[in-house]
């Protein structure tokens, strides 16, 4: 499956006030368009099409020099989307996400939810259940109420089978509120996935302040480092980053002596300012004797979640002459990612020797260093 994204940025956005269309206006130190594009720079997404107004000359020059595909905006939104779909023709794209540039607070989690829903549906889009009472009104007075049962507020990104949405846009002309409307007119069933309250569409002037609050909260980033050492002793294997590696000696320690996993665990505790493994799992407590270090790492990850953070990435360096880490690094990445609920590309495991210097060089033990980056969820 090859997934592409189309970011529709050709609107003039006059309702948001100001002379400049909203996508080019500053939001938390960057432009709206920059925030939105960055949200779609995910390993799962192979192509990003930016649909621009023919009038936005400097943007054509600026983005023409990047890896983005560009498409020309049309008179109606549907024309812009159609041009964006055509820009993907012949590129082997099987699924496409269509997103409004004015929703810069969309999260990677929501984008992935829509992509995953396309595994079992031809189309999927986020919607928020309407929970507020609904009124009709005129001249500042309530004129009636509306039944909210079964109503959803539609969001983007809206995801589709590429060929089906292309065909739907081919036969449909004229105005459509969104691509779900175009898809449904062609008989495509659209699954609803849960939207996010913070995935707001910047429409009015005051929406900038709300979007900025959401984005600045996301910028609550914490770093932690971890360092650990275990000495060699008798044995026929070591456990490193969750992987059992045959070796002429074992590592000694109270638990399974997984020096790499301990360093990563301490990096997470460090980012949270919550001490270290010894504080949460005292070595004086016999229940942790010989324990699988996975327990410690899983605890640190769940503590991060409880404190409102998720792990953005982990980097771990093992320092040893032997065993050679390279052949096992990919397995270690997979195993560490599994325990932490991350994807492998969020976990780096690498190794170095110390040029036969010091205790690691004399092969008396293995050291490990780790860095963890945590972001507020
Ligand atoms: Mg340790």
> Residue 254 carries which DSSP code?
S
Q: For residue 14, what pLDDT is reported? A: 60
In which residue ranges of the chain is pLDDT below 50? Answer: none
Between the CA of 23 and the centroid of ligand 1 the distance, in Å, is 49
How many Cα atoms occupy the beta-carbon half-sphere of 204 within 13 Å?
2
How far is residue 168's CA from residue 179's CA, in Å, rounded to a whole number? 9
Could you say which of 168, 202, 218 is where a domain stops? 218
Closest C-alpha among 193, 322, 317 to residue 267: 317
Which segments of 25-122 are extended strands (E)?
26-27, 30-31, 45-52, 69-72, 95-100
> Which DSSP letter does residue 152 get?
E
Domain CATH code at residue 28: 3.90.550.10
CA of 310 to the centre of ligand 1 (A): 23
Residues 55 and 74 in one domain: yes
C-alpha 85 – ligand 1 centre gap (Å): 53
Question: What is residue 17's predicted lDDT score, i.e. its pLDDT?
Answer: 65
The closest of 32, 42, 49 to 102, measured between CA atoms, is 32
Question: Ligand 1 mean position to 201 CA, how many Å?
Answer: 48
Cα 109 to ligand 1 centre (Å): 33
Q: How far is the CA of 173 from the centre of ligand 1 (A)?
A: 65
d(CA 117, CA 367): 43
d(CA 288, ligand 1 centre) in Å = 12
In the block, tokens 């000694």 appear at 252
Domain boundary (157, 188, 218) is at 218
Torsion angle (degrees, nearest 10) of CA 48, 104, 164, 191: 140
Contact status, residue 264 vs residue 356, Cβ threshold 8 Å: no
Distance CA 48, CA 98 (A): 10
Helix (H, G, I), strand (E, B) or coil at 127: strand
Please state the domain count of the chain: 2
Calculate how far, in angstroms, residue 283's C-alpha sits from the geometric centre of ligand 1.
10
Report CA torsion sign: 229, 230, 231, 235.
Answer: negative
pLDDT of residue 172: 80
- Ligand 1 centre to CA of 278 (Å) is 9
- How far does the centroid of ligand 1 lie from the alpha carbon of residue 210, in Å? 44
Tell me, in angstroms, the distance from the centre of ligand 1 to residue 331's CA. 21
Task: State the CB neighbour count (10 A cutoff) for residue 69.
Answer: 17
Query: Does residue 125 share a domain with residue 87?
Result: yes
Same domain, 17 and 66: yes
Is 147 found in the same domain as 76? yes
d(CA 22, ligand 1 centre) in Å? 52
pLDDT computed for residue 16 by the predictor: 62
Q: Specify whether the CB–CB gap between 11 and 77 falls below 8 A.
A: yes
Residues 176 and 119 in one domain: yes
232 and 314 in a single domain? The answer is yes
d(CA 312, CA 104): 19
Shared-domain flag, residues 77 and 112: yes
How far does the centroid of ligand 1 lie from the alpha carbon of residue 264, in Å? 10
- Domain shared by 163 and 231, yes or no: no
Tell me the whole-structure pTM to 2 decimals: 0.65
CA angle 276, 281, 283 (to 5 degrees): 100
Distance 262 CA to ligand 1 centre (A): 5
229 and 208 belong to one structural domain: no
Of 179, 158, 189, 183, the C-alpha closest to 168 is: 183
Residue with tokens 């360092």: 227
Q: Could you tell me the distance, in angstroms and rounded to a whole number, from the CA of residue 320 to the centre of ligand 1?
A: 15
> Terminal CA-to-CA distance of the chain, rounded, Å?
28
Domain CATH number, residue 248: 3.30.1330.50
Clarify whether residues 178 and 231 are in a common domain. no
Whether 72 and 43 map to the same domain: the answer is: yes
Q: Look up the domain containing 260 and give its range.
A: 221-376
Distance from residue 286's CA to the centre of ligand 1 (Å): 15
244: CB partners within 8 A, 6+ apart: 237, 238
Q: Measured in angstroms, how far is the CA atom of residue 326 from the centroid of ligand 1?
A: 22
CA–CA distance from 31 to each of 20, 27, 36, 99, 157 (Å)? 11, 6, 9, 16, 19
**326, 274 in Cβ contact below 8 A?**
no
Rg, Å, the chain Cα set: 26
315 C-alpha to ligand 1 centroid (Å): 17
Question: Around 193, how many Cα atoms within 13 Å sit in the side-chain half-sphere?
Answer: 22
197, 218, 239 — which closes off a domain?
218
Cis link prior to 205 (omega < 30° from 0)? no
CA gap 280, 267 in Å, rounded: 14
Pair 309, 357 in one domain:
yes
Q: What residues have their beta carbon closer than 5 A to ion ligand 1? A: 228, 262
- pLDDT, tens digit, 9 for 90 and up, residues 119-150: 999 999 999 999 999 999 999 999 999 999 99
CA-CA-CA-CA dihedral for 118, 123, 126, 132, to nearest 10: -140
Separation of CA 360 and ligand 1 centre (Å):
15
* C-alpha 263 – ligand 1 centre gap (Å): 7
What is the 371 CA–ligand 1 centroid distance (Å)? 15
């Amino acid at each position: 499956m090859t997934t592409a994204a189309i970011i529709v940025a050709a609107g003039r956005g006059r309702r948001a006030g100001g002379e400049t269309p909203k996508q080019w206006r500053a939001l938390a130190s960057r432009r709206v368009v920059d925030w939105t594009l960055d949200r779609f720079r995910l390993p799962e997404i192979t192509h990003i099409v930016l649909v621009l107004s023919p009038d936005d000359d400097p943007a054509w020059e600026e983005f023409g020099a990047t890896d983005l595909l560009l498409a020309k905006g049309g008179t109606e939104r549907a024309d812009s989307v159609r041009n964006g779909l055509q820009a993907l023709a012949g590129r082997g794209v099987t699924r496409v996400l269509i997103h409004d540039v004015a929703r810069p607070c969309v999260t990677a989690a929501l984008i992935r939810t829509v992509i995953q829903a396309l595994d079992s549906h031809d189309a999927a889009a986020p919607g928020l259940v309407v929970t507020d009472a609904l009124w009709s009104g005129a001249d500042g007075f309530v004129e009636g109420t509306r039944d909210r049962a079964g109503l959803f507020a539609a969001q983007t990104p809206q995801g589709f089978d590429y060929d089906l949405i292309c065909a739907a846009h081919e036969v449909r002309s004229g105005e459509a509120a969104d691509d779900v409307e175009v898809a449904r007119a062609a008989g495509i069933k659209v699954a609803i996935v849960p939207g996010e309250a913070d995935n707001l569409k910047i429409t009015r002037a005051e929406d900038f302040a709300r979007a900025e609050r959401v984005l600045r909260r996301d910028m609550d980033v914490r770093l932690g480092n971890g360092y650990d050492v275990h000495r060699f002793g008798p044995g026929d294997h070591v456990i490193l980053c969750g992987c059992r590696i045959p070796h002429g000696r074992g590592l000694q320690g109270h638990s399974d002596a997984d020096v790499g996993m301990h360093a990563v665990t301490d990096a997470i505790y460090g980012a949270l300012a919550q001490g270290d493994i010894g504080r949460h799992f005292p070595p004086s407590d016999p229940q942790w004797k010989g324990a699988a270090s996975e327990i410690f790492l899983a605890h640190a990850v769940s503590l991060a979640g409880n404190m409102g953070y998720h792990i953005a990435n982990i980097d771990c360096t093992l320092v040893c002459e032997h065993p050679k880490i390279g052949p096992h690094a990919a397995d270690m990445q997979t195993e560490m990612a599994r325990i932490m609920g991350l994807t492998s590309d969020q976990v780096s495991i690498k190794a170095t020797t110390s040029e036969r210097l010091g205790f690691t060089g004399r092969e008396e033990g293995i050291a490990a260093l780790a860095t963890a980056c945590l972001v507020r969820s």
